[in-house]
Structure 1
């Protein structure tokens, strides 16, 4: 078993553009790392709650979820719910998060509502934060709480246009709120090697961001699309599928990078 770190590695998964595979990556990367033996916590702060649904967490089991955590109504331990994947737990999202910008916007330290709670969580090796699309207060909390941000990027023109916005936001957070924040990497999602535009976007992203782009790419795969409707990650739905194997490869690359930087044992 890995040697326990003094605190978990916290990674926000964020992109201001929706539909780029952000939540799919959060669910399946977290599951793949957990299957490898590390203890993983996924914190769902997206009001849509898709990560929670995709891991089979019924509305009745969510209680106050991440809303209660942000509001200070519950401790982290009280908000954590186990999943069907060994070593993977989740803090689920609830619909009350929809009003977070208005409810918490005037609060002192509103950018730090998640930070201290997550950094004190000694029972996980890795914490992933599934941020909502957009760059509001919830995403800002995720970035301030995190050591690094992982950016899923769909291999299409409009997604490429929008990546500069999340990079600017990361730079702003780094300068003003979280000096240690870094870009963990960019993951190309929904790729189709038969599509010339997809290949061109992939080549352009690699030319510009170089080693920040993961070598592993996530292809379009029907099994990945079907798995959330069954409330399980694709690894449990169809382990042999191209999608499942791609996320296992991404998890291996993620861990290799983290160990090279000595941020995980």
Structure 2
């Protein structure tokens, strides 16, 4: 079982859109996939719930060891793709994690899923917190969407420094450009000079496309809305890069 996370300390950078689309593409390739929506805003839950809104459960019983993680897993409309829906109690996750006596609770919680799940994707809230620390310790790779602006690049540097403080190996931090608008000279300049601006960046850049916004309207992965569009093609390319590094 492999665990990957989509995380950034900034919000609004395309993190959840990437997590949902990669989860869908993985599942349709025959990989049993679980997406855990750790963000109390619940955007990933909204995208994957289909016509019926998935209702998450309070995480307290999981943290206290009173309920196994399997009790929180729900089906989605898509084969081989399951979901742990968001719940508002996740806003207090950091406090509850600090109260936990386990050295690495996420690994403990996820371990029972290994027999039936090949890939777990963590969609994380934007923060540098105890939850972020646990994600960094647990995930085999952390994918960080970065908008090609100086402010967003500075946020990447902050997150990279945070990971270094947690003794996370640099190769596990994998940034990629997101919400790229090539009509803007700054975006073109930064993306075209990625080797300098964003070392270790993946080759794929996700465009700033209106089709991605339609995911919220249709509550479906982009592959089912605009499969032939440039954004859907970009997510497929991103998945191929991620897939090549997975040990499945």
In the superposition, the TM-score normalised over structure 1's length comes to 0.84
> Is the Cα contact below 8 Å between 1:154 and 1:188 reproduced in 2?
yes
- Out of 83, 95, 104, the position equivalent to 1:102 is 95
Partner-residue secondary structure (3-state), 2:4: strand
Give the equivalent residue in structure 1 for 2:184.
Answer: 195
Give the equivalent residue in structure 2 for 1:185.
Answer: 174
- Out of 108, 115, 119, the position equivalent to 2:107 is 115
Give CA deviations for 1:171-222 in whole Å, capped at 9, x if unaligned: 122x2xxx67842521211111221111122244432544x21111110111
Give the equivalent residue in structure 1 for 2:195.
Answer: 206
> Is the Cα contact below 8 Å between 2:40 and 2:87 reproduced in 1?
yes
1:158 maps to 2:151: yes
Structure 1's unaligned 5+ residue stretches are: 1-7
- Out of 9, 27, 31, the position equivalent to 2:20 is 27
Offset of residue 94 of structure 1: 0.2
Partner-residue secondary structure (3-state), 2:78: coil
Offset of residue 10 of structure 1: 0.6
> Is the Cα contact below 8 Å between 1:116 and 1:145 reproduced in 2?
no
- Out of 216, 219, 236, the position equivalent to 1:228 is 216
Closer/same/farther in 2, CA of residues 65 and 187 from structure 1, 3 Å limit: farther
Which runs of structure 2 are paired with 1:77-96 in the superposition (5 Å)?
A: 77-96=70-89
CA RMSD of aligned residues (A): 2.3
- Out of 50, 63, 69, the position equivalent to 2:62 is 69
Offset of residue 134 of structure 1: 0.8
Closer/same/farther in 2, CA of residues 119 and 180 from structure 1, 3 Å limit: farther
1:248 maps to 2:236: yes
Closer/same/farther in 2, CA of residues 91 and 149 from structure 1, 3 Å limit: same
Give the equivalent residue in structure 2 for 1:3.
Answer: none
Structure 2's unaligned 5+ residue stretches are: none
